[in-house]
Amino acid sequence: MSPLHPALSDYLTIRRALGYKLARAEKLLGQYLSYLDERDEQLVTVENAVAWATLPAAGNPNWWAYRLTCVRGFAKYLHALDPDHQVPPADVVPHKPRRATPYLYSEQELLALITATGSLRFPLRRATYRTLIGLLSVTGMRVGEAIRLDNNDVDLKHGVLIVRETKFGKTRELPLHASTVDALREYLRLRDRVCPEPRVDAVFITPVGTRLLYCGVNWTFLQLVQRAALKPRSPRCRPTLHSLRHSFAVRTLLDWYRDGLEVQPRLPLLSTYLGHVHPRDSYWYLEAAPELLEIAAGRLERSQGGER
């Protein structure tokens, strides 16, 4: 085995001790080392890093750049140990990073999605997706956080969810509205009646008692999108699972503006609730919806007019 493999293990251990998860990076770097093994190369070079990163030849430049970014982090670590390893320049693969336009669900569209869960097979599956979509839409949780919830993470008495070990090892508590608590309680009663001996301790389970997997949840969600007749608004604005999180954030900001509250001082609260690593991630939502920009501009105009 190439000495690069144990070096990769050490690199991942160090980075994870700093709070990085690196699940995708680990997979990609493993593939890169297999690429080097096939060519009997034991040094990271600009040439072999770029050659691997730009596979497949018909791929997306943004994906190529991401692959190379993973290699660059590992290459920096190796270069500190052995200067013979080369660090690929950051701009060697031209790309144009573009953040997808969030699909902001209206109340009618959310209702259509939840109604579409009635078309799923098995009562437990219908209840699971109805409750999961509802929870994501009113808490802004990441999908992975929701499907990782265990029973002891749900405190119905105090109306709180505990979201454990998310990005950078953070754990946070999410207070819930009384109606959300009632919906969770109803789901858990049905779940325990239909599947009294599940195979896992998860809150959300499949009809056979196993934890939901992201790929399965995403596939089912796309089926529900079709049944609810939701259409993309543009090639870069499509109804996705993650857009439920975007929609929650934007609705929260809109409600604050409409209630006449000062939004800027409250953004750290939204950032904490969403589990953002950096508060600046929450500021992005201020430009995510034209309605938000219009309200903010109107408030600014009024404040400037009052100063004259």
Active site residues: 142, 167, 242, 245, 276, 285
Q: How far apart are CA 89 and CA 67, in angstroms?
A: 13
Distant-in-sequence contacts of 124-129, Cβ < 8 A, 24+ apart: 124/190, 124/191, 124/194, 124/195, 124/205, 124/206, 124/207, 125/206, 125/207, 127/187, 127/190, 127/191, 128/187, 128/191, 128/204, 128/205, 128/206, 128/212, 129/220, 129/221, 129/224
Q: How far apart are CA 34 and CA 28, in angstroms?
A: 10
24 closest CA partner among 66, 79, 77? 66
Q: Are 256 and 291 in contact (CB under 8 A)?
A: no
